[in-house]
């Protein structure tokens, strides 16, 4: 596949449909000297946590190169840019605004707006200030209220510069990967912690939505959830039940409270010490009205009946074909996910906030001919189109990622960008996937 094509009558080819690219603060900014430490700084400094022993101190040096990066974004002909605010860059130890950090974002947003690029701002993309983690982080209910204070201050400071706010990116990753299995910062391990962290993050989301309704009523305000659709490995009842449990634990746990003000039914089967402490009124706070739902999708997983006592399911290896990070390529699951969510819940407009692939890129004569990534985008964009044709109100799509960056526990080993970054020279080179994405957008 050398081009990304959609059906000629696709609603995605309307100028009303938003095409964008996405990044996150810790993954690209660098500029560590001008912000407080965050949990990912600490995690990176811990032996054995990052595959290549790297860190985010420089990353893509976007903190210093933001003006040329805006020109780069403009050159791709996208409608929108999804970025995140670094909480430790804009808030001081005593909870006040850091003027230098705020100026970085107001300058960036002003630059994007001057070029007519819509700004989609994520208020939390995993980089919790370390001093709050030292007080318990997301296991401490008070962190939800600290988050609301941060949102109140920064949204007032950003004024009317922002087209759309997301309270959180991928609460599953923060809670489960960070506080249950410990493969992401802050690296806490224990089944008794994951649901508690998740509840406080969702509570923070609800509190943040209330602040956004007050401070920024004219922006599109919502949340971005990641989904890994769960399929049974066979048609046996035991495997189907296992896949359902996995779906409740991994996916529904984060969306059902938003729309139904309750957790999935499997909460009743958890050990008491693994259940979150839910206070009166919590679920009503969490279930604030949303202007949009962001959906992140990369892959699916298959499940079989549990092989160990006390477990609900067994997660199986990714099937083939796989991306360079080892995730199965299965576009059909994206369509099925979107249609099933639309059936199950009364959804607001949906944006695909992240979708993309790490591939083993090779540069030859200054060109990265990443045909595998182009094929991935072609198939997944058509999967989105299929969901729209089945009645799902999807209004935008963001490619992950604008540029190669710090890929969390993988360090700099995996490249998701449609733009290549040379981490020594910081030179940006648009890959052929970037050119193909631009060509699709430009033909509307």
Q: In 3D, which of 158, 157, 61 has the Cα closest to residue 112? A: 158
Structure tokens at 231: 């399929």
Whats the size of the chain, residue-wise? Answer: 444
Strands (E) in 289-440, as ranges, are: 292-297, 301-304, 314-315, 350-355, 363-364, 367-368, 394-400, 419-421, 428-430
Query: How many angstroms separate the CA atoms of 398 and 351, rounded?
Result: 8
Strand partners of residue 82: 22, 120
Q: In 3D, which of 84, 107, 103, 97 has the Cα closest to residue 28? A: 84
DSSP tag of 134: T
Instruction: Look up 170 and say whether it is catalytic.
Output: yes
Are the C-beta atoms of 293 and 347 separated by less than 8 Å?
Answer: yes
Instruction: Look up 311 and say whether it is catalytic.
Output: no
Catalytic residue among 170, 180, 336, 407: 170
Q: Which helix or strand (DSSP H or E) is residue 395 part of?
A: strand 394-400
Q: Name the CA dihedral angle for 40, 42, 48, 54, rounded to a multiple of 10 degrees.
A: 60
Q: In 3D, which of 442, 409, 10, 3 has the Cα closest to residue 182? A: 409
- For residue 7, count other CB atoms closer than 10 A to its CB: 12
Catalytic residue among 29, 180, 336, 354: 354
Catalytic residues: 170, 354
């Amino acid at each position: 596949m050398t081009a990304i094509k959609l059906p000629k009558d696709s609603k995605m080819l309307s100028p009303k449909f938003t095409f964008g690219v996405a990044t996150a603060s810790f993954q690209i900014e660098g500029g560590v000297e001008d912000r407080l430490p965050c949990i990912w700084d600490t995690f990176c400094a811990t032996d054995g946590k990052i595959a290549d022993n790297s860190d985010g101190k420089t990353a893509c040096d976007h903190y210093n190169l933001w003006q040329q990066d805006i020109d780069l974004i403009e050159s791709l002909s996208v409608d929108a840019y999804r970025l995140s605010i670094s909480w430790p860059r804009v808030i001081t130890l005593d909870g006040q605004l850091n003027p230098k950090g705020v100026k970085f974002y107001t300058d960036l947003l002003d630059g994007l707006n001057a070029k007519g690029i819509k700004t989609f701002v994520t208020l939390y993309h995993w980089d919790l200030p370390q001093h709050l983690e030292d007080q318990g982080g997301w296991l401490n209910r008070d962190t939800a209220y600290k988050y609301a204070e941060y949102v109140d201050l920064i949204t007032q400071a950003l004024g009317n510069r922002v087209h759309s706010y997301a309270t959180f990116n991928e609460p599953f990753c923060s809670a489960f990967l960070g506080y249950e299995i410990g493969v992401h910062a802050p690296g806490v391990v224990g089944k008794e912690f994951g649901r508690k962290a998740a509840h406080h993050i969702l509570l923070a989301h609800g509190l943040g939505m209330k602040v956004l309704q007050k401070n920024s009523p004219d922006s599109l305000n919502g949340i971005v959830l990641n989904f890994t659709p769960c399929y049974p490995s066979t048609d046996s009842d035991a495997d189907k039940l296992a896949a359902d449990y996995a779906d409740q634990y991994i996916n529904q746990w984060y969306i059902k409270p938003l729309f139904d003000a309750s957790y999935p039914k499997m909460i009743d089967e958890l050990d008491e010490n693994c259940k979150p402490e839910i206070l009166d009124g919590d679920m009503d706070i969490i279930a604030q009205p949303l202007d949009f739902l962001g959906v992140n999708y990369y892959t699916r997983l298959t499940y079989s009946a549990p092989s160990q006592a006390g477990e609900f399911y067994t997660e199986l290896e990714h099937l083939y074909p796989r991306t360079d990070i080892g995730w199965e390529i299965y576009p059909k699951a994206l369509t099925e996910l979107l249609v099933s969510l639309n059936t199950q819940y009364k959804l607001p407009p949906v944006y695909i906030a992240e979708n993309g692939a790490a591939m083993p890129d090779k540069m030859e004569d200054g060109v990265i001919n990443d045909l595998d990534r182009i094929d991935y985008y072609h198939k997944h964009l058509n999967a989105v189109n299929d969901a729209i044709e089945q009645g799902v109100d999807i209004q935008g799509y963001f490619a992950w990622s604008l540029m190669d960056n710090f890929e969390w526990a993988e360090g700099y080993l995996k490249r998701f960008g449609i733009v290549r970054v040379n981490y020594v020279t910081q030179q940006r080179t648009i890959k052929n996937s970037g050119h193909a994405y631009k060509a699709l957008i430009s033909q509307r």
